[in-house]
Amino acid sequence: MPNIIHAEQIEYLRNLRLPEDPLILEMEDFAAANKVPILDWKSSEFLEQMISTKKPKDVLEIGAAIGYSSIRIARRLRKNASLDTIEKSKPNIKLAKGFIKRAKLGSVINIIEGDALKVMPRLDKVYDFIFLDADKQDYEKLFLLSLMILKKGGVIFVDNLLWKGYAAAKSVPTEYQNSTRIIRGFNTTFLNSTAITSAIMPIGDGIGIGIKI
Ligand SMILES: C[S@@+](CC[C@H](N)C(=O)[O-])C[C@H]1O[C@@H](n2cnc3c(N)ncnc32)[C@H](O)[C@@H]1O
Q: What pLDDT was estimated at residue 19?
A: 84
Per the DSSP assignment, residues forming a β-bridge with 112 are: 86
Give residue ranges with CB within 6 A of ligand 1.
37-39, 63-65, 68-69, 86-89, 92, 115-117, 133-135, 138
For each of the domains in the chain, give its residue range(s) and CATH number, in order of start. Answer: 7-212 (3.40.50.150)
What mean pLDDT do residues 101-121 have?
A: 98
For ligand 1, atom 17, which residue shows the shortest CA distance? Answer: 134
Digit-coded pLDDT (tens) for 131-143 = 999 999 999 999 9
Q: Which residues contact 107 (CB under 8 A, 6 or more apart)?
A: none
- Taking residues 162-187, what's their average pLDDT? 97
CA 65 to centroid of ligand 1, rounded, Å? 5
| Residue 10 banded pLDDT, cuts 50, 70, 90 | confident
Find the range with the poorest average confidence among 1-10, 107-116, 152-161.
1-10
Q: How many other CB atoms are found less than 10 A from the CB of residue 209?
A: 19
User: Residue range 14-42: average pLDDT?
Assistant: 95
Q: What confidence score (pLDDT) does residue 160 get?
A: 98
Which residue, by CA, sits nearest to atom 26 of ligand 1? 65
Task: Looking at the CA of residue 117, tell me the nearest atom of ligand 1.
Answer: 19
Atom index in ligand 1 nearest the CA of residue 138 equals 19
Strands annotated E in 88-149: 109-113, 127-132
Best probe residue, ligand 1, of 46, 72, 89, 163 (max atoms within 8 Å of C-beta)? 89
Query: What's the whole-number average pLDDT of the chain?
Result: 96
Q: What is the dihedral of CA 46, 52, 56, 61, to 10 degrees?
A: 30
Tell me the CA–centroid distance for residue 46 and ligand 1, in Å.
Answer: 19
Torsions phi, psi for 24 (to 5 deg): -65, -45
pLDDT of residue 7: 84
Q: How confident is the model at residue 4 (pLDDT cuts 50, 70, 90)?
A: low
| Averaged pLDDT, 58-77 | 98
Say how many Å lie between the CA of residue 211 and the centre of ligand 1.
22
pLDDT digits (tens, 9 = 90+) for 29-60: 999 999 999 999 999 999 999 999 999 999 99
Q: Rounded to an integer, what distance in angstroms lies between the CA atom of residue 37 and that of residue 163?
A: 12
Q: How far is the CA of 204 from the centre of ligand 1 (A)?
A: 17
Rounded distance between C-alpha atoms, residue 142 and residue 138, angstroms:
6
Q: What separation in Å is there between the alpha carbon of 64 and the centre of ligand 1?
A: 5
Q: Report the length, in residues, of the chain.
A: 213
Name the residue of 135, 179, 186 to mutate for ligand 1: max ligand atoms within 8 A of Cβ: 135
Does the model's pTM come out above 0.85? yes
The minimum-distance atom of ligand 1 relative to the CA of 92 is 27
